Amino acid sequence: MTLLAVTLFSVSLPAFYNAFRTLYGDDEYRVLRSNLAELGLSIDIYALYFFALGVVVAVACFALAVIIFYRKSNDLMALFTAMMLILLGATLWGTADILATIHPTLGFLGNVLFVLSLASLFLFLYLFPDGRFVPRWTFWLAIVLVTVMAPIALFPGPPFDMKKWSPLVFALFLLCWVFPGVIAQIYRYRHVSDPIQRQQTKWVVFGLSAALTGLAGVIILLATVPSLKPGSVAADFIGGTATAGFALLIPLSLTIAILWHHLYDIDILINRTLVYGVLTAMLAVVYFGGVTASQATFHTLTGQERQPQLVIVISTLIIAALFNPLRRRIQSFTDRRFYRKKYDARKTLEAFSAKIRDETDLDALSDDLVGVVRETMQPAHVSLWLRPDTPPKGEQADQ
């Protein structure tokens, strides 16, 4: 499977590059060509950049698959994940359509790989992280999935050609397989997974969430900033680069989850992402809201369109002053809301650390220590043994 996928991807590379060049030669990209000419860039350089982005993402998927295979070749779930990454890397940028322009047989093989990559994504939701179908009904759902996908892969003409489906039909088709997989992952996380498997699930969910959130943020940025209107060179460069970068988060998170590398750091990463993500959003709202409100007020009072630079400087200073207080409040709220046990344990240890500075009664200190261990670690049994005082060796010899 790997040999076939990598070979077909390599064969498609020249046509992949030519597809970018011919795409930007259409009349609808007249404005884009004029913008490139103003910047001194040619269509070849522009097409080469986006061609390189696609190749980098594909090669990254191949490299991560090799790392998984090298480190976990005796784990069937790891092998399945490696194969899925190979298929995704080979078919992510419409390889089947490009191969069809070279030869119909290559297009047929490319379509088979695309359907297999799609099916492997659905099966991954049913099998991750231990390779077993949990709950049991996911096994029968996987049989139905293979039965449905087989004719789509082998008979690419209507009605099995997914490219001819309407966007609504295609979205419903994906939802039919993804939604049960999400339900299965939630059930597995709550009732079946051990602590390590839960950390693996957190890594995968974090990678998917970060990628989707990042892509949504890029779309909002391109839609709201006037200078980044569709068809502009800046919009294409920012959108294409960000899409490739966020797409890489998914195979990276899968690889980290499979290799069990620093799994417990994910809690810190999620915590920091929540804190600084909310902090950035709040500061952005305060900044743009303050600038917009001051501009409207200035225009009403003076009738001038442009506001003085002093307003922007003041807004920037306000943001700088709000950064640390807001960060502390958001950090405290996040710890209390999402990390309650760790938050309570930390507060208990801080209180105990402050208390032992002034505690002189050994019995009271021992009771406090046992209570803190019981409250923070919650073991099945707690006991404290104090070594009896023994005289120094010199005194023992004298006695």
Q: Is the dihedral of CA 69, 70, 75, 78 positive or negative?
A: negative
Residue 19 has pLDDT above 90, yes or no: no
Share of the chain above pLDDT 90, in %: 17
Highest mean pLDDT among 149-163, 291-305, 348-362: 149-163
What confidence score (pLDDT) does residue 120 get?
Answer: 93
Contact 92, 118 (CB under 8 A): no
> Is 349 or 250 the better-scoring residue by pLDDT?
250
Which residues does 338 contact at the CB level (< 8 Å), separation at least 6?
Answer: 271, 274
Angle, CA 293 vertex, CA 291 and CA 296 arms, to 5°: 105
| Mean pLDDT on 94-107 | 86
> Is 320 or 143 the better-scoring residue by pLDDT?
143
What confidence score (pLDDT) does residue 81 get?
Answer: 92
| Mean pLDDT on 344-372 | 71
Contact 138, 126 (CB under 8 A): yes
> Is 117 or 94 the better-scoring residue by pLDDT?
117
Counting beta carbons within 10 angstroms of the beta carbon of residue 383, is it exposed (0 to 12), middle (13 to 18) or buried (19 or more)?
exposed
> Is 233 or 184 the better-scoring residue by pLDDT?
184
What confidence score (pLDDT) does residue 20 get?
Answer: 75
Q: What dihedral angle (degrees, nearest 10) is formed by the CA atoms of 275, 250, 124, 174?
A: 90
**End-to-end Cα, the chain, rounded Å:** 82
Closest CA to 89 of 52, 114, 122: 114
Residue 183 has pLDDT above 70, yes or no: yes
What confidence score (pLDDT) does residue 345 get?
Answer: 60
Residue 250 has pLDDT above 80, yes or no: yes
Lowest-pLDDT choice from 52-66, 88-102, 105-119: 88-102
| Mean pLDDT on 75-95 | 89
pLDDT tens by residue, 268-320: 666 676 677 777 777 777 777 776 777 667 666 666 656 566 666 777 777 77
Closest CA to 253 of 200, 203, 182, 199: 203
Residue 190 has pLDDT above 70, yes or no: yes
Q: Confidence class of residue 194 from pLDDT cuts 50, 70 and 90?
A: confident
DSSP tag of 264: T
DSSP tag of 381: -
What confidence score (pLDDT) does residue 167 get?
Answer: 80
Residue 230 has pLDDT above 70, yes or no: no
Contact 96, 107 (CB under 8 A): yes
| Mean pLDDT on 62-68 | 92
The C-alpha atoms of residue 124 and residue 216 are separated, in whole angstroms, by 24
| Mean pLDDT on 69-89 | 91
What confidence score (pLDDT) does residue 3 get?
Answer: 92
Supply 3's token pair: 């040999």
Lowest-pLDDT choice from 77-81, 95-99, 155-159: 155-159
Furthest CA-CA distance within the chain: 105
Q: Name the pTM for this structure.
A: 0.68
What confidence score (pLDDT) does residue 396 get?
Answer: 53
What confidence score (pLDDT) does residue 116 get?
Answer: 93
Lowest-pLDDT choice from 148-157, 257-266, 347-356, 358-367: 257-266
Closest CA to 10 of 53, 65, 59: 59
pLDDT tens by residue, 374-395: 766 667 778 878 777 766 655 5
The C-alpha atoms of residue 261 and residue 243 are separated, in whole angstroms, by 26
Lowest-pLDDT choice from 208-212, 301-305, 349-353: 301-305
What confidence score (pLDDT) does residue 215 get?
Answer: 79
Highest mean pLDDT among 172-176, 286-290, 308-312, 350-354: 172-176
Contact 220, 273 (CB under 8 A): no
| Mean pLDDT on 363-369 | 74
> Is 163 or 26 the better-scoring residue by pLDDT?
163
What confidence score (pLDDT) does residue 229 get?
Answer: 66
What is the residue-averaged pLDDT of the chain? 79
> Is 224 or 169 the better-scoring residue by pLDDT?
169
Angle, CA 216 vertex, CA 126 and CA 179 arms, to 5°: 20
